[in-house]
Structure 1
Amino acid sequence: MMPLSETGRMLTIYAAAAFFEIAGCFALWAVLRLGKPAWWTLPGVVSLLVFAGLLTRIDVDLAGRAYAAYGGIYIVASLVWLWGVENQTPDRWDLAGAGLCLMGTLVILAGRHGATP
């Protein structure tokens, strides 16, 4: 089992990665769907590069496992974005689904991968 401080560090990196991924994707959304100027894609690209770099800071042996655990964090962060940036309150179904995904993230992070029983 991973020490609590390491889990906190990983969750912090995941949360930052989610922010930068969502911000980067939203920049393109804003250009294509909201009519924002094309230069909005430049900070979006930078944001996506920061996102990708942050995911490499996760201390796991396999990229697929880092991405799988990240999925739950991304979903929660997307709902925070929905609420904070788009001014729409997540409904009970959003929250229930995010809770399930977050539990999956915690199982992946806390698991003893490759350990013998």
Structure 2
Amino acid sequence: MTLARSLLLFVLAAVAEIGGAWLVWQGVRESRGVLWVLGGVLALGAYGFVATFQPDAHFGRVLAAYGGIFVAGSLLWGVVMDGFRPDRWDLLGVAVCLLGVAVIMYAPRG
């Protein structure tokens, strides 16, 4: 259950952070307006809280592992929201990052 909870929290953090950054991008770069930016700022603030609920008590470990989730989530967001098509190097990079997440966050420790 702890693993499932941790993974769910990583997904929620990614949606909040990547979604928030995307909303700010849309508001500023795509001239969609201040409400988009405000929504993005609120989502980015929510991201900051979600990470605190991770079962592991070590800030550095949680944020380091989350970095790999962020990389994978960012590419996936681009595919879904912007029609981005990752190439094989993008996919290899994501695989390396997710392997890093598994090692950093879920390796057995004694």
TM-score bracket for this pair, using the shorter chain length? over 0.9
Structure 2 residues without counterparts, runs of 5 or longer: none
TM-score norm. by structure 2 comes to 0.93
* Contact 2:65–2:101 (8 Å) recurs in 1: yes
The aligned runs of 1:1-117 (5 Å cut-off) are 5-113=1-109, 115=110
Give the distance between the partners of 2:87 and 2:3, measured in 1 at CA: 28
Deviation string 1:34-63 (CA, Å, 9 cap, x unpaired) is: 111112111112111211111001011211
Structure 1 residues without counterparts, runs of 5 or longer: none
Letter of the 2:92 counterpart: A
Deviation string 1:71-106 (CA, Å, 9 cap, x unpaired) is: 111111111101000011111111100000000000
Q: Which has the higher helix share?
A: 2
Structure number with larger C-alpha Rg: 1
TM-score norm. by structure 1 comes to 0.88
Number of aligned positions between the proteins: 110
Specify which structure has the bigger relative contact order, considering alpha-carbon pairs within 8 angstroms and separated by 6 or more residues: 1
* Contact 2:65–2:100 (8 Å) recurs in 1: yes
The CA RMSD measured in Å over matched residues stands at 1.2
* Contact 1:7–1:109 (8 Å) recurs in 2: no
Give the distance between the partners of 1:72 and 1:47, measured in 2 at CA: 20
